[in-house]
Amino acid sequence: MNFDLSDEQKMLAEQARGLLSERSPYDHLRALIDAGAEWDESLWRELGEMGFLGVAIPESFGGLGMSALDLGVIAQELGRCNAAVPYYSSIILCADAIRLAGSDIQKAEWLPKLASGEVVGTFAYAEGPGPSFATGVKLEGAKLNGSKTPVADAGIAQLAVVLVAGGGLALVDLNQSGVTRTKLESFDQLRAHYRIDFADAAAEMMPGKNVLATLLDRAAVQAAFEATGAAEACLTMARDYALDRQIFGRSLASFQAIKHKLAELAVEVELARSNAYFGAWAADESPDDLPASASAARLTALTAFENGARENLQVHGGIGYTQEANCHFYYRRERTLALGLGGRDYWTDRLINHQPGLQGQISSGKAA
């Protein structure tokens, strides 16, 4: 057993962190929001040129063919800085869906473009209020009809993987006349969302069957890395602010109420990170362990990020409620990450239903 990042992975993390702290500081995020930008296109191009987007895409399809853990190391850094890039939509979901379910022709056509960043993709699954995997969108022949909403990054995406009635996945070119995209007002100002209406849109079924649960498991592990990085950023930001702030004649950080809050958060971050490591390892090496370990990673990472985002703002006091402070980026991003991929209910059921020896004993085993 050797349960730590390799030296190469530590270097990869450092590289990504260095680049992102230089290119995506908070003032830059604020400028993007003020300019009404949907994304940071130049950062995206740079990530593509440096190979960061193709890390886990097979070499035969233009990627670097590295592991889920390597990808997670990058996701953690993107989460740490809240970068305004469609990584989650395009790489974690769309590219992985094609890798899992696409035909060789579909892979050859799209994966190299996704890996280089030339094409942005997204994954369209929700259909309005309620559980996220409704399937009112129908594919008949090669024609797609119905609506998906909200869909992240759909304004800049050219390609969507769409979850259709029956649970299959279809590939849709969004730059066609049968597709209408309507911009929504996003809670997370750094992640644009759209409603997409399909009216006899041309779509191609992907041959892979029953991949949804696995796709979500793999994405949950990556999202857990992203949330862990973000939670840790909140912890560090709160700590630094508390060290700086003088109050009642001493440093705010010297009060136990603050120390203990942050110590608890530090524990949550380490539990989440440990689960994410195991989830990534299982994604590549031990598929039987993936459902439970992805669920555990998901639940612990959401807890760490939720408390991190909330308590960071709390520690800042009034300044935390201003645009000028940086707490709000995480406070909004946290809800965005928490509600995606099925939310807590889905992962609760998945974790419980994947405990050995229990299947069949539960009368209402709900989810997949």
Partner 1 sequence: MDFNDTPEEAAFRTEVRAWLAANAPAHVIPQGVALDDTEEVQRGRAWQRAVYDGGYAGITFPKALGGRGGSVIEAVVFSEEEAQYHLPKGPYIGIGLGMAIAAIAKHGTEEQRQKFIEPTLKGELTWCQLFSEPSAGSDLANLRTKAVKEGDDWIVNGQKVWSSWAHRSDWGILIVRTDPSVPKHKGLTFFVVDMKSPGIEIRPIRQISGASDFNETFLTDVRIPDSNRIGDVGGGWGVCMTVLMGERLGSGSHKAQVSPLLDYAASTPGMNGGTALDSGSIRAALAQAMAEEQGAKYLEARLRTMVSRGENPGALAGMIKMSYASRLQKTSGLAMELRGLDAIAPSIDDTLTRSIQYDYIWSTVMRIAGGADEVLKNQIAERVLGMPGEIRMDKDVPFEALK
Smallest distance from partner 1 to CB 271, Å: 3
Site for partner 1 in 151-170 (CB under 8 A): none
CB neighbours of residue 285 within 10 Å: 12
Tell me, rounded to whole angstroms, the distance of Cα 187 from its chain centroid: 16
Q: Which stretch in 49-57, 112-120, 181-189, 267-275 sits in contact with partner 1 by CB under 8 A? A: 267-275
259, 310, 332, 335: which one binds partner 1 (CB under 8 A): 259
Under the binding rule (CB under 8 A), the answer on residue 256 touching partner 1 is: yes
Distance CA 345, CA 216 (A): 14
Tell me, rounded to whole angstroms, the distance of Cα 253 from its chain centroid: 32
Under the binding rule (CB under 8 A), the answer on residue 262 touching partner 1 is: yes
Sign of CA dihedral 129, 354, 336, 199: negative
Regarding beta strands 159-163 and 121-124, do their DSSP bridges make them parallel or antiparallel, or are they unpaired?
parallel
8, 59, 264, 288: which one binds partner 1 (CB under 8 A): 264
Under the binding rule (CB under 8 A), the answer on residue 272 touching partner 1 is: yes
The smaller minimum CB distance to partner 1, of residues 34 and 285, is found at 285
123, 277, 305, 329: which one binds partner 1 (CB under 8 A): 277
85, 92, 172, 253: which one binds partner 1 (CB under 8 A): 253
Regarding beta strands 246-247 and 250-251, do their DSSP bridges make them parallel or antiparallel, or are they unpaired?
antiparallel
Under the binding rule (CB under 8 A), the answer on residue 5 touching partner 1 is: yes
Site for partner 1 in 219-238 (CB under 8 A): 235
Distance CA 86, CA 159 (A): 12
Q: Tell me if 238 sits within 8 A of 352, measured CB to CB.
A: no
Using alpha carbons, list the distances in angstroms from residue 297 to 77, 226, 270, 282, 294: 17, 11, 11, 11, 5
The smaller minimum CB distance to partner 1, of residues 17 and 298, is found at 298
37, 100, 134, 271: which one binds partner 1 (CB under 8 A): 271
List all residues 6 or more positions away from 283 whose beta carbon is below 8 Å from its beta carbon. 68, 217, 218, 221, 290, 294
Smallest distance from partner 1 to CB 105, Å: 34
Binding site for partner 1 (CB under 8 A): 1-6, 9, 69, 235, 239, 242-243, 250-251, 253-254, 256, 258-260, 262-264, 266-267, 270-275, 277-278, 281, 285-286, 292-293, 295-300, 303, 344-345, 347-349, 351-352, 355, 357-358, 361-364
